[in-house]
Amino acid sequence: MKRLRELLGGNLQQYTMVLALVVLVVIFELASGGKMLTPSNFQNLISGNAYVLVLAIGMVMVIVVGHIDLSVGSVSGLVGMVVAISCRDFGVPWWVGLLIGLATGIAVGCWHGFWLAQMGIPGFITTLAGLLAFRGLVIWISGSISAPVPSEFKTLGAGYMPEWGPGWTMMNNSTLLLGIIGIAYLVWSQFHKRAKELKRGNDAPIWIPATRSVAIVVVIGYLTWLFGSGRPGTSFPIPGVILSVLVIVYHIITQRTTFGRHVYAVGGNRAAAALSGVNTKKTYFLVMLNMSFLAAIAGILFVGRATSAGPQDGNMWELDAIAAVFIGGAAVSGGIGTVFGSVIGGLVMAVLNNGLMLMGVGQDKTAVIKGLVLLIAVAFDVYNKNHGKPSISGHLAKKMQAGKGGEPETVLSPASAAATSASAEPGSAPASGPIEPDSNPNDPIPPTTK
């Protein structure tokens, strides 16, 4: 148990949903008679859910700052329709239409950011108004009729990485190269992290990065083979490449930049963040702008896959994105949540949808199951926080501690937990104990000392 804890870095929380995802895949693989782990199914799973995962990347930042965006589905539908109409009725090139769509998303984000940051209207109300207004606008400008998009968009929404090079590899060489790059970088990062620990004078056994590297090679190697060995003409989907780039970029933004630190600071305690010199209005504005920008990308990916924009595109997408974020470990009260966690939460929902479909479960029962999964995940989080208990990962860590003969970790008071979390990695949960949620994020705050 001690070695397992060292291998996982002493933090089991980030592995909880990954474990749940693996368990779901195995269960559906057995229950569907081997239909889950096939190249075509996984390619469709990524292509068909990329837009929701893109929305989840932006939604986690909105939820971390203590708000919520109900308009993302309507914004995505609006952008898709604007792109289609621009190309069909005004004859603009496909790339100009794409830029017009992105500009539309940015404009909508500025609109939402203005009402939230400058006027103090809560994000829930601001985006609820946006949900209604932009949904009506989509129907208005489309005349309730679908509009086709240029064929180039199909590459973005449903294309595959190209084939090149020799055929003796028995798989798509672009996918193979992508897998090799991923393995090389992740393995290098494990040993680089160990080298940094040694420079600090910390104990860093070589078996830990070596074991992790073996696991990385096995997992990514299998996924590379799975995506690259499908029927001729298929490989790792282009939407998956776009999603992967966005995940990396936004992970860096949220964890390694000043803006990312400000997002978590405002979400943890708005008044304290303002007193520390954080421009809270600017943070709110940029978070809402970013959310609509990503909603525009999601809308473009979807119409590319569907080859046309429809008046009902984006309907209820916001619920899937919100569910992904909360299942991925974000806190209801804000201040906690990560990009990786939200994407894993989205994949859990995607696998759940896909697996139930393979088993022939109807949409009615699927909706019931998804609702229960979301409710249980959030209810467990809220219950543990209200009672000062650790999460699932906390229970596992506590059992590991007891198993090695040590004393269980002490539950900190709210004040101590808050102090401890101030030095933790952005988006991670406090060591233990609940943190009192901030007051209304739109309450007046003391002026910042200049």
> Which pLDDT does position 1 carry in this prediction?
59
Higher per-residue confidence, 416 vs 274: 274
Q: What is the pLDDT of residues 120-174, one digit of tens each?
A: 999 999 999 999 999 999 999 999 999 999 999 999 999 999 988 887 778 899 9
Ranking 108-112, 204-208, 368-372, 432-436 by mean pLDDT, the lowest is 432-436
Ranking 21-35, 369-383, 411-425 by mean pLDDT, the lowest is 411-425
Q: Is the pLDDT of residue 378 over 80?
A: no
- DSSP letter for each residue of 161-190: PPP-S-STTSS-HHHHHHHHHHHHHHHHHH
Higher per-residue confidence, 68 vs 20: 68
End-to-end distance of the chain based on CA atoms, in angstroms? 51
Exposure on the CB side of residue 80, measured as CA atoms within 13 A: 37
**Amino acid identity for residue 312 in this structure:** Q
- CA–CA distance, 103 with 125 (Å, rounded to integer): 23
Q: Is the pLDDT of residue 13 over 60?
A: no
- CA–CA distance, 110 with 58 (Å, rounded to integer): 15
> Which pLDDT does position 388 carry in this prediction?
53
pLDDT band of residue 400 (cuts 50, 70, 90) is: very low
Q: Is the pLDDT of residue 406 over 50?
A: no
pLDDT band of residue 225 (cuts 50, 70, 90) is: very high
pLDDT band of residue 205 (cuts 50, 70, 90) is: confident
Q: Is the pLDDT of residue 424 over 90?
A: no
Residue 162, burial from CB neighbour count under 10 angstroms (0-12, 13-18, 19+): exposed
Domains and their CATH numbers in the chain: 10-159+238-385 (1.10.3470), 161-236 (no CATH)
The three-class DSSP label of residue 77 is helix
Average pLDDT for residues 209-231, to the nearest whole number?
A: 92
Q: What is the pLDDT of residues 176-188, one digit of tens each?
A: 999 999 999 999 9
Instruction: Give Cβ neighbours of residue 383 (< 8 Å, ≥ 6 apart).
Output: 389
Closest C-alpha among 313, 316, 174 to residue 233: 174
pTM exceeds cut of 0.85: no
The dihedrals phi and psi of 65, each to the nearest 5 degrees, come to -80, 5
Instruction: Give Cβ neighbours of residue 130 (< 8 Å, ≥ 6 apart).
Output: 70, 71, 74, 75, 108, 111, 112
Q: Is the pLDDT of residue 387 over 70?
A: no
Tell me the longest C-alpha to C-alpha distance in the chain. Answer: 73
> Which pLDDT does position 83 carry in this prediction?
97
> Which pLDDT does position 412 carry in this prediction?
41
Ranking 20-29, 122-131, 187-196, 424-433 by mean pLDDT, the lowest is 424-433
DSSP state for residue 443 in the 8-state scheme: S
> Which pLDDT does position 5 carry in this prediction?
65
- CA–CA distance, 101 with 373 (Å, rounded to integer): 34
Q: Is the pLDDT of residue 232 over 90?
A: no
Q: Is the pLDDT of residue 433 over 50?
A: no
Q: What is the pLDDT of residues 36-51, one digit of tens each?
A: 999 999 999 999 999 9
Average pLDDT for residues 370-388, to the nearest whole number?
A: 72
DSSP state for residue 276 in the 8-state scheme: T
